[in-house]
Every structure is written in structure tokens, then in C-alpha cells.
Amino acid sequence: MTTSKEIYITREIESWMKVQSQNYPIMSIMGPRQSGKTEMIRKYFPQLPYFDLEQKETRKKVLENPDQFVRENYMDGVVFDEFHYVPELTEILKTVSDEIRHEFRKEGKTAVPTRFVLTGSHNYLIDEHIKETMTGRVAIIKLLPFTLQESGCKDPFEAMYKGGYPILYVNGQTPPTFFPGYVYNYLDKEVRYIHGIKDLLKFEEFMQICASLAGNFFDYETVGSALGLKRETLDAWLMVLYSSYIIFFARGYNKSVMKQMNKGHKLYFYDTGLCASLMEGITSSGDIQKDPDARGNLFENLVFSEIWKKNFIKGRHLNPADFWNITGRGGYEIDMIMKRAGRLKAIEIKSSDTFHSRWFDNMQKHPDLQAADKFVVYTGPTMDVEGGRALNFCDLDQLFLA
């Protein structure tokens, strides 16, 4: 692949962004660092002036008088990159967007095209004040690392090892050259500067432990004992990773008649490349292939993260899937449960290219799943099989069909 700096890989979410840009005066594009937010907005909104609020001098200029800065210069539109550094802009953007809406309505127009574009590697909408102020005025776009379709990566072990950060596909960087610097910058600019956490060494150890738990429950007692941290601190640190789009959680499928349902949450990384880089002993895609535990956990993580990405691309922000965990005597687990058009989809995830009919066994055990659509996601070919459908991991779009 060419290493030209001019290369741009079109993102799947752009079609949804186009729709939303016709209906909201403010657009918020959030996602982890280096997921391609700046490149996408500079391509999509080339006419708008651009300010990077991560830069100290730019912040100083804006903060002198945010109201005057916007009103006297940028009523026709502006891009504020890394918006979370200057939340003081929230009130003026609310006021101005309401004024613009009022003028449009006086002209008989109901929709207001986007004028103000905000990006962030930190989910500033978890701040209740900002969320309340922005409600009804902002289109929310979540831009994560590449999907499998965007990266074009069809080798499962390469996909797990490399992940989806765009820079790894457009300028020749490799995981060993990219991820150490990525983690360093994340710790410095997000963990230390935004969240005020001083013990960066321990936080990095915390990230490594989270990587080892990908696809599993987060064990507070064990992790707290290993790091010498209280549960309150662990909760706070998990929220740091969650709010900066490093990790997400899948919940146990919950139906009121299910008395034995485990209501815990499993931890996953949005990017398997970052996760693999934090795992001990993983220095190549071959290492993943040779390690059955790493292979299984990372492949399950790959499938879950792809489902989350596809969900956001379609403009949905609620969790798209759960897991099913039956506890007690004879307990068992089903990797993923999705509900589409009133029907349940039961899914097992296997890091193998050879299909086995026994993979459907757990799906047959519970009466609530007898009528469910049944799938196995694996690394072999997509095909109809007795009991359901076997899906290659590159064909996950089929799970979103009604």
C-alpha cells in the first residue's frame, strides 16, 4: 500500500455524518486519539476555520473572551478540535445555536445545517452540565479505529495484532513503532493532564492488567490487591479508560424471568492492536496464533469491538449486544446475544477455521433460545450449517439484518 501522506481512507460513518450535518447546528465527533477525527473533519468541512484547542496559545486566545471570539469571528462556522480542553465554550455555542435556529424557523425552515464542529478524545458529554446544555442541539458521531472493511485486513491474526488505528495503514508504521508512543502520549495528555492522575507508572500497569482481562469480568479484589488500590480508585480509573474510548463493557443479557442471570459486565478494548501491545509476550501476530488464551480472548474482543463500531456507524449509541451467562449447577455461557426486530440472535465466537457442530450446543440448552437465530463467528468460510449459520469474522454485517 502507498505511504503517501495524501492518502485518505473513506470512513463508513461518513454517510451517517452527512445525514446528521443537515439537521443539527452543532456536531460532536468523539473517539480515541488518532482514530482519524481531524482528517475526516478537515476533508468534510474544508470551508470551516480550524482551531486545535490542545495547543496552549490557541486555548489562551479563545479563553480571553469566548463569547466575543465566536460572535465577532465565527458565526458562520468553526471547528474546535479537542473541545474538552475548553468546556467554557459550551454556553456560547448553546446560545448562538439557539439564535440561529430561531432565525431559520422565522424563515420557515425546520432543520439547521451544522456550523460548529467539536471533536474530542475525551467524552465530554459525560459531564452533566455539558450534556444538559448540548441536548437537542448536537449530532453525536463516534469515530473509532478502522473497521475490518475500512482496513481491508482479512487475516484474523494480523487484524488482532495490528488493530485499526489509521496511521498503521497509511504511512507504513507498525505496532512496535506506534503503540509505545501512543500509550506515552495517552498517559501524558489524557491521564495526567485531563484527569490529574500523577502515578502514571501504576496507571500503565493498570492498563496492562485490563488488557489481560479482555473478554472477562473485571475482578476488583484481585486487581486491587495486585496494585494496592481501593475499589473507588479502580472504578475511577476504569471510567478514565471508558471516557477516552479505550475500553467498553458488555453486560449480561437480562430478562426478568431469568433468576440466575449474572448481571456483571465484561471488559473489552475498542482496539485489539492496543490491547495486544499491552499483553505480556505478544510481539507479533504469530505470538497470538501460538497462544490459545491470547488467541481466544483477542478474537472474541475483535468480534465485540467490530459489532460496537458497526452499531455506531448506523447512528445507534446503546449497547448493541450482551452475553448470556447461566450460573449455578450446570452453568454455561453464550458469547453474544443480540436482539433485532424482536428476535434474539445467539452467537458463539471461536478462533478456529474449522467448523464444529457442537458449537451450537449451549444455544440449544435454554428454552428462551429455541426460536433464536443461531450463529457461529469463526475464521472459516461463511456458510449455512445444520442448526444455524457459520459466519466468517469479516461478514459481521449479517448480524444486523432483521
Percent of the chain with pLDDT over 90: 80
State which of 246-255, 347-356, 361-370 shows the largest mean pLDDT. 347-356
Helix axes 89-106, 66-73, angle to 10 degrees: 40
Residue 340's pLDDT band, with cuts at 50, 70 and 90, is confident
Residue 2's pLDDT band, with cuts at 50, 70 and 90, is very low
Residue 69's pLDDT band, with cuts at 50, 70 and 90, is very high
Q: Structural domain boundaries of the chain? A: 14-142, 148-299, 324-400
pLDDT in the model for residue 51: 96
1: pLDDT strictly greater than 50:
no
Work out whether the CA dihedral 116, 122, 126, 128 comes out positive or negative. negative
- pTM for this predicted structure: 0.93
DSSP string, 105-145: HHTT-------EEEEESS-GGGSHHHHHHHTTTEEEEE-PS
Chain length of the chain:
402
Average pLDDT, the chain: 92
Residue 5's pLDDT band, with cuts at 50, 70 and 90, is low
DSSP string, 269-304: ES-HHHHHHHSTT--SHHHHHH-HHHHHHHHHHHHH
pLDDT, greater one: 197 or 401:
197
Start-end of H helices in 1-88: 14-20, 37-44, 56-63, 66-73
**Residue showing cell 457442537:** 358
Q: What is the CATH number of domain 14-142?
A: 3.40.50.300
For the segment 73-94, the average pLDDT, to the nearest whole number, is 93
pLDDT, greater one: 314 or 327:
314
State which of 98-107, 120-129, 147-156, 330-339 shows the largest mean pLDDT. 147-156
**233-286: pLDDT as tens digits:** 999 999 999 999 999 999 988 765 344 344 679 999 999 999 999 999 999 999
For the segment 316-331, the average pLDDT, to the nearest whole number, is 84
Alpha-carbon span 132 to 123, nearest angstrom: 14
For the segment 381-390, the average pLDDT, to the nearest whole number, is 96
Residue 319 in grid coordinates? 449497547
Alpha-carbon span 396 to 347, nearest angstrom: 11
pLDDT, greater one: 135 or 174:
174
How many C-beta neighbours within 10 Å does residue 45 have?
Answer: 19
Dihedral over alpha carbons 298, 303, 308, 311 (to 10 degrees): 170
**149-163: pLDDT as tens digits:** 999 999 999 999 999
pLDDT in the model for residue 261: 47
pLDDT in the model for residue 356: 96
pLDDT, greater one: 215 or 171:
215
pLDDT in the model for residue 189: 92
pLDDT in the model for residue 124: 87
pLDDT in the model for residue 239: 96
166: helix, coil or strand?
coil
Work out whether the CA dihedral 16, 18, 20, 25 comes out positive or negative. positive
